[in-house]
Amino acid sequence: MLSLDPVVGAIAAGNAVVLKPSEIAPASSSLLANLLGRYMDNSSVRVVEGAVDETTALLQQKWDKILYTGLSSFILFCFYLYIDYWNPFSSYMHIF
């Protein structure tokens, strides 16, 4: 549930959020989609489930800010898309 930490901060600051949970943990992804879809205002929080195709489609959109929580190997891919689409990008990782 590391992905909820930046979501809470973004909502508290008055921003709308699109959350794309990891496809590696489908049960957690489904739980986030169901709970946030049920209890949050859909105009402020949306959850997009999927894998590489959905992630690529999301990263090709124009965003005010992209916050990535996950594997460092994926960051390079995000930076290449950042260069192509000029989206502000931050990496948010915890190393355990």
Q: What is the pLDDT of residues 54-69, one digit of tens each?
A: 888 887 787 777 777 6
- Residue 80's pLDDT is 63
Chain segment 78-90, per-residue pLDDT in tens: 666 655 555 555 5
- Residue 28's pLDDT is 92
Percent of the chain with pLDDT strictly greater than 70? 69
Q: Which residues pair with 46 in a beta bridge?
A: 18
CA dihedral sign, ordered 82, 85, 88, 92: negative
Nearest to 19, CA basis, from 54, 27, 39, 53: 54
When the pLDDT of each residue in the chain is averaged and rounded to a whole number, the result is: 78
Q: Could you tell me whether strands 89-91 and 17-19 are parallel, antiparallel, or unpaired per DSSP bridges?
A: unpaired
